[in-house]
Structure 1
């Protein structure tokens, strides 16, 4: 499980910002005990704030690190695709990332500092007996390994000034490294599209290309082909009870029906399509949702479904995968095209030890203040844009100390500006441009 994540000099994150999953209020279901850590970890984290305040950049930094571990050895030959803070000294300074997580109950810490030309520092540490021990540490091209990890010695031969040591070392059969890297690569990201930097890239990127899913499992795959090879979420013992073994297809269909109770099934078949340009006929796959109607079951093309149903359908594969593996799913703008009732249901699924027995975590950004009624004070983070264009990230639980009570109506307090994080609307300039005022 993710313990904390820190990033600096990335997009609008000029100075280091930290997102922590350590619970402040431990006496509840969403706070999962981590005995070796001496704390409890949360399964939910929500980032709120005005437009252009940097919400997407907070989760985008985590997405960047995940993709760096996957891509650096293959694609970073010429340069490192960093996007430093565009103002002040940002373009000339290095960027840094820190990720702490538990893997099989053991705390791991990964530290990375780099610039567009090379990796300056990289270190992976673990705490098997509460004391920090080095797995590997790298300064420039010099790599030091923990004693007894000779199987990683080949990392030195493949290491370049731009490739991450973690990207190289994960390819060797050393569980201490490969299991940590596996958990990083299991992070699924929706709504983010990390890009290579452009000349003149600005601090809060509003001009991103179309968002897509990164590292996610397609929902369509759960309904396509034989179901026998698909793992079952509830075929393990949990909370002292043996859950009934349900196939992934059945689980996916059950989640889909939450969005539309009229859906009976999902059909994936083939259809012949006539190409107007050439007159040729081609066969293509077709996805349809089967609805109940007065005339019996009726298949409806997926493109004809509501945007909310299509968005929910796209979430099902990543959500089930996260629940099955106890991994992290990151969703930028969870409320986009999704009804608040469905968003709230998703929070309940991740909070419950019944539907989330392995401690999967959901980290998301949102403008939907109604979801604050379903979140605890330590699950909410707020972004603000400073005068220099940099993002400030703050924990709601730390705001004004005990005045943010567990029982407080967070939505009402947020909308009344108690915690900041609201857009400052001033129509004076607009009225002046319209000639309505002098």
Structure 2
């Protein structure tokens, strides 16, 4: 589970910002105790703030780091695709990313400092028996390894100025490194805008790739596995949940949205191309709607954006719940009805549906969701005068502890926590000639 994430000098982030998943209020189901850490970690975190305040850049920084671990060895030969803060000295400064997470109860810390031309510093550490120990550490091309990790010595031969040591070392399948890298790569990123600002639904960072979203949703329907165990380990009245195969699990989550959809049909159809006259077989996805006593399959492209969004997130969400991994969702409210968004929060909060501690981190403008969030699950962004992003925890807003019982939506809308757009119509009215 993610403990905390820091980033500096990335897009609108100038000074370092920190997003922490450590619970303030530990006596509730969304806070999962981690014995060796001595803290409880949250399964939910929401980032709120005005447009252009940097919400997407907060989650985008975490998505960038995930992509970096996967891509640096193959795609960074000609340069590091880094976007530093454009004002002041940002372009001349290095960027830094820090991530801490627990894996099998052990705390790991990964740090990387780099610019567009080279990786200046990189280190991976763990805390067995609560003491910090180096796994590897590099400055420039000089790499130091923990004693006993000779199997990673081949990393030095593949290391370049623009290659992350973690990207190389994970390929040697040493559990201490491979397990941490796998945890980073299991992060799934969803949203209405790509990290580079292009429109469209995405699974991943700079470019959409189906593997970035874990198992594509269609695979959960297309290739059922009767031996697949249930995601859920909680009990019902009969003592245990029935074992469900993948298809049944996916259908259950689809029906949870109460969209009137009874089933999913994936088959093949022949398509004749008018330009060439060629006939080709093409996969077809249809959702079966029940109306009265009849069932009608409807083409997926004809469904509403909200229905398509809910369908697309089923695979990534089920994958996260099954593996205890993380889902990042930029602009959760853009295509989902508030009721569905709230239902998604319940799925991640409950130990019944989320027994392995999967985490959902999302950005939103939907203030109604604040009624479904605790004070330590909400983070606020504001745009400073220099154009940079400030990130603050609502639980400790402006140095004052926010009451656990406070109505967060009402307080937010009344400006109690700031992070609201400052609307001034004066210039607009003057341009219209309505005032002098």
Q: Does residue 385 of the first structure (1) align with residue 375 of the second (2)?
A: no
Superposed, 1:154-303 pairs within 5 Å as 154-191=154-191, 193-195=194-196, 207-214=197-204, 215-216=212-213, 217-228=215-226, 230=228, 232-234=230-232, 236=233, 242-303=240-301
- Look up the match of 2:93: 93
2-structure distance, mates of 1:295, 1:30: 41
1:435 Cα deviation from its structure 2 partner: 1.3
In structure 2, do the counterparts of structure 1 residues 225 and 12 end up closer, same or farther at CA, with 3 Å as the change threshold? same
8 Å Cα contact 1:238/1:357 also seen in 2 = no
8 Å Cα contact 2:395/2:401 also seen in 1 = no
Offset from partner CA, 1:162-182 (integer Å, 9 cap, x none): 100000000002100000000
1-structure distance, mates of 2:401, 2:221: 49
The unaligned stretches of length 5 or more in structure 1 are 196-206
- Tell me whether 208-217 or 1-10 shows the greater mean CA deviation: 208-217
Q: Does residue 10 of the first structure (1) align with residue 10 of the second (2)?
A: yes
1:244 Cα deviation from its structure 2 partner: 2.2
1:261 Cα deviation from its structure 2 partner: 4.8
In structure 2, do the counterparts of structure 1 residues 70 and 84 end up closer, same or farther at CA, with 3 Å as the change threshold? same
Offset from partner CA, 1:208-252 (integer Å, 9 cap, x none): 454511110311111113433655313x5789x643211121111
Q: Does residue 350 of the first structure (1) align with residue 348 of the second (2)?
A: yes
After TM superposition, the score normalised by the length of structure 2 is: 0.95
8 Å Cα contact 1:107/1:127 also seen in 2 = yes
Q: CA RMSD in A?
A: 1.7
1:101 Cα deviation from its structure 2 partner: 0.3
2-structure distance, mates of 1:210, 1:237: 37
Offset from partner CA, 1:284-305 (integer Å, 9 cap, x none): 1110111112352211111121
Q: Does residue 423 of the first structure (1) align with residue 421 of the second (2)?
A: yes
8 Å Cα contact 1:11/1:57 also seen in 2 = yes
Superposed, 1:308-387 pairs within 5 Å as 308-387=306-385
Offset from partner CA, 1:255-288 (integer Å, 9 cap, x none): 1112235211100011122222223222211101
The total of aligned residue pairs comes to: 426
The unaligned stretches of length 5 or more in structure 2 are 205-211
1:382 Cα deviation from its structure 2 partner: 0.2
8 Å Cα contact 2:6/2:98 also seen in 1 = yes
Offset from partner CA, 1:311-355 (integer Å, 9 cap, x none): 110111110000000000000000111000000000011000110
2:129 alignment partner, SS class: coil
8 Å Cα contact 2:224/2:245 also seen in 1 = no
Q: Does residue 404 of the first structure (1) align with residue 394 of the second (2)?
A: no
1:48 Cα deviation from its structure 2 partner: 0.1
8 Å Cα contact 1:233/1:248 also seen in 2 = no
- Look up the match of 1:104: 104
In structure 2, do the counterparts of structure 1 residues 307 and 194 end up closer, same or farther at CA, with 3 Å as the change threshold? closer
8 Å Cα contact 1:3/1:41 also seen in 2 = yes
8 Å Cα contact 2:226/2:244 also seen in 1 = no
1:47 alignment partner, SS class: strand
In structure 2, do the counterparts of structure 1 residues 124 and 359 end up closer, same or farther at CA, with 3 Å as the change threshold? same
2-structure distance, mates of 1:260, 1:285: 26
- Look up the match of 1:78: 78
1:401 Cα deviation from its structure 2 partner: 5.0
1-structure distance, mates of 2:264, 2:218: 9
- Look up the match of 1:33: 33
After TM superposition, the score normalised by the length of structure 1 is: 0.94
1:148 Cα deviation from its structure 2 partner: 0.5
Superposed, 1:127-146 pairs within 5 Å as 127-146=127-146
